[in-house]
Amino acid sequence: MLVRKRKARIEARAREAAVMGYTALDRRAPVSEAGRQLLRKAFPDHWSFLLGELALYSFVVLVLTGSYLTLFFSPSMTEGVYDGSYGPLRGLRVSDAYASTLHISFDVRGGLLIRQTHHWAALVFVAALGVHLLRVFFTGAFRRPRELNWAVGVTLFLLALLEGFCGYSLPDDLLSGTGMRTAYTIVTSIPVAGTYLGFLLWGGSYPGHSIVHRLYAVHVYFVPLALMALVGLHLVMVVYLKHTQWAGRGRTNRNVVGQPMVPQFATKSAGLCLMVSGVLVVLGGVAQINPVWDFGPYRTDQVSTDAQPDWYVGFLEGALRLMPPWENTVAGHTLMWNVLVPAVLLPALLFLLLYLYPFFERWITGDLMEHHVCDRPRDRPVRTALGVAALVCYAVLLAAGGNDVTASVFRVSVETLTWIFRVALVAGPVLAFMVAKRACLALQAHDRRLLEEGEESGVVGQSASGGLAERHRPLDAAHRYRLLVRDVPPPLAHPGEAAPRRERLRAALSAWFSRDRVDMPATDEQRLQITGRTAGPLPPAEE
C-alpha cells in the first residue's frame, strides 16, 4: 500500500512538472500553435506521393542495419591468414576488411540477414529517390516556390550514389576491387590534379593502404550525417511550402486538400514503414545479394569475370565501354578522353542540368507564378519528351555496361554490340523524344474528344435512318474538372528582330517548348473559372 501511494505521488509530481514546464515554454514560444498546425497539416492522398516515403523508410532501415554492422566490421587493409568458418577460403591471405565481412556473414548471429537487408535497403533507397525525382520532374513539382527543395532532392540523390559506392567497395572483395580499380582510373584521368588526388585518396600508389579506411569514414560518418541533415531540411520545407496536389474539384493553387497528419496520415505512414521494413527483411533472408565469398579477396593481378557494378552506377560503366580510345598529350600531360569524358564530364554535366533545369524552364516560359497543382505529363509534351529521352539514354548506357555478358549470351561479337549501342545512344533519345511528344499530343486530342463527345458507354444504338453507332455518355463533373483545369502558359511573344539576341533566343525556345498543344473546348465562363483556380496565392514577382 505504501509503495502504491509513493508511486502515485511520484507520478503526480511528474505530471505537474511536465505541465508547468510546457506552460512556461508555451508562454515564451508558440509551441501549442505550431503543434496544432503541424498535427492538422493536410496531406493529399495519392499513391505517387508515397515514393518519397519509401525512400525515407528504406533510409531508416539503412541506418539501423548499418549501425549493427559497424560493430563487427574492421575497415583495415592489413593482410592476414584467414582461419574463419568458410572452408574454401581458409588459409588464404586476406585483408581484415574482407575477413570481417566473412565473419559477419558466417559467424555473427543474424549477421548475413542484416548485411543483405542493408544491401537491399540501399538499392531500394536509391531507386525510390530516383523515381521520386522523376515524379517531381514529370509533374512540374519543382517549379516556384520549390526550386530549392528540388536542389535538395538532387543533392540527396548524388550523395546516395556516393554512399552506395562507398559501401559497395568496403568488403575489399574481387568484385568491389575491380570497381576500385576503375575509380582510381577515373580520378587519375583528371588533368594535372588527377595523379595527386589518386595519391592522396589511396594513400600512395595503387592499391594503397588507406582507401578502405577512408571510404569507411565517408560511408559511416560524413555522408550519413549530410543525408540526415538534407532529409530534415527537405521535410521542413515540405511542411512550410505545403504539399503539391493533383487537379480535382476544390483543389486550387491556393489551398491543400487532403487528410490531416493525425490520425489518418500518421497511421497510413506508420503502416507503410512497417511494410517497407518487412519486405526488406524478407529480401535479406531469401534473396542472396553480393556473396563476397564466391568472388574471393581482391588481388591487383586478377579480375572478376562478368564484373558489373550496382545498377545505379552502371551507366558510368556503359559510358566507359562506349567511348572510343581517344588520348592526347598536351604540355607533357596525357589527356585520357576515353575516361575523362564518360566518367567525369558526363556525370558532372548530368547533375548540372538537373540543378539548373527549374530555372531554365522558368526563363523560357516566363512563368513566375507559384504552382501547387501538379501537371499531368501529357499537358507538357516537351518536358515529358525530354524526360523520356533522358531515360532512354540512361537505359542504353546501363545495357552497354554489360555488353560482354550480352555478347556471350547471344553469341554476338563485342565490337558489333558496342557499335549498336553507340548508334542507339545517339539515335535512341532523339527517337524517344519524338515518340513521347507525339504520344502526349495524341493523349491531349483524346481528352478533347472525351470533352466533346463523352466517354464510350458500350451500348450500340440504331438511328432513325438505320445506321448503327455507339452511344456516349457525358463525363462526370470530377473528370471534366481534371481535363479542363490545367496550367499551360502560352509561348512568349516574339520581341522583334531589333531585340537583343538573348531575348530572341528566349522567344524561340519558348515557342519550341509551349507551342504544340491541343486546346480544350471550354466556354468563356469556364475559362474564367480555370484562370481563378490556377492563379497563384501571390502575384508574380518582378524579374
Cα–Cα distance for residue pair 405/141, rounded to 1 Å: 39
Hey, what's the torsion of the CAs at 173, 174, 175, 176, to 10 degrees? 50
Look over the chain and give the mean of its residue pLDDT values, rounded to a whole number. Answer: 89
How much is the pLDDT for 543? 44
Q: Is 42 helix (H, G, I), strand (E, B) or coil?
A: strand
Residue 400 C-alpha cell reads as: 552497354
- Cβ atoms of 219 and 166 within 8 Å: the answer is yes
Cα angle 183, 185, 186; round to 5 = 65
Q: How many helices and strands in the chain, by DSSP H and E?
A: 21, 8
Cα–Cα distance for residue pair 231/240, rounded to 1 Å: 14
Q: Which residues contact 89 (CB under 8 A, 6 or more apart)?
A: 82, 102, 293, 296, 297
Residue 521 — φ and ψ, nearest 5°?
A: -70, 110
What are the residue boundaries of the structural domains of the chain, listed by start? 1-35, 46-290, 376-455+475-535
How much is the pLDDT for 29? 59
Query: CA of 3: how far to CAs of 7, 8, 10, 14, in Å?
Result: 6, 9, 11, 16
Q: Is 336 left (phi over 0), alpha (psi -120 to 50) or beta?
A: beta
Cα angle 422, 394, 136; round to 5 = 155
- Cβ atoms of 88 and 102 within 8 Å: the answer is no
How much is the pLDDT for 33? 59
Residue 515 C-alpha cell reads as: 507551342
For 47-55, which contacts have Cβ atoms below 8 Å and span 24 or more sequence positions?
Answer: 48/135, 48/139, 49/243, 50/272, 51/128, 51/131, 51/132, 51/135, 52/128, 52/132, 53/269, 53/272, 53/273, 54/124, 54/128, 54/132, 54/272, 54/276, 55/125, 55/128, 55/129, 55/132
Cα–Cα distance for residue pair 52/219, rounded to 1 Å: 22
- Cβ atoms of 470 and 459 within 8 Å: the answer is yes
Residue 479 C-alpha cell reads as: 473528370
Residue 374 DSSP code: P
Cα–Cα distance for residue pair 413/396, rounded to 1 Å: 18
Query: CA of 111: how far to CAs of 52, 80, 213, in Å?
Result: 29, 22, 21
Helix (H) or strand (E) holding 527: helix 524-534
Cα–Cα distance for residue pair 276/280, rounded to 1 Å: 6
How much is the pLDDT for 538? 57
Return the sign of the alpha-carbon dihedral for residues 274, 133, 378, 522: positive
Cα–Cα distance for residue pair 114/103, rounded to 1 Å: 13
Topology, domain 46-290: Cytochrome Bc1 Complex; Chain C (1.20.810)
**Per-state percent for the chain, helix, strand, coil, to nearest 5:** 65, 5, 30
User: In a structure prediction context, what are the per-residue pLDDT tens digits for the chain, which is 543 residues long?
Assistant: 666 777 777 777 777 776 677 576 656 656 565 566 666 777 888 888 899 999 999 999 999 999 999 999 999 999 999 998 999 999 999 999 999 999 999 999 999 999 999 999 999 999 999 999 999 999 999 999 999 999 999 999 999 999 999 999 999 999 898 889 999 999 999 988 888 999 999 988 888 888 999 999 999 999 999 999 999 999 989 888 888 998 888 888 888 888 888 888 889 999 999 999 999 999 999 999 999 999 999 988 887 667 778 888 889 999 999 999 888 888 777 788 999 999 999 999 999 999 999 999 999 999 888 889 999 999 999 999 999 999 999 999 999 998 888 888 899 999 999 999 999 999 999 999 999 999 999 999 999 999 988 888 878 887 777 788 778 888 888 888 888 888 888 898 888 888 899 999 999 999 999 999 998 888 888 888 888 778 877 554 544
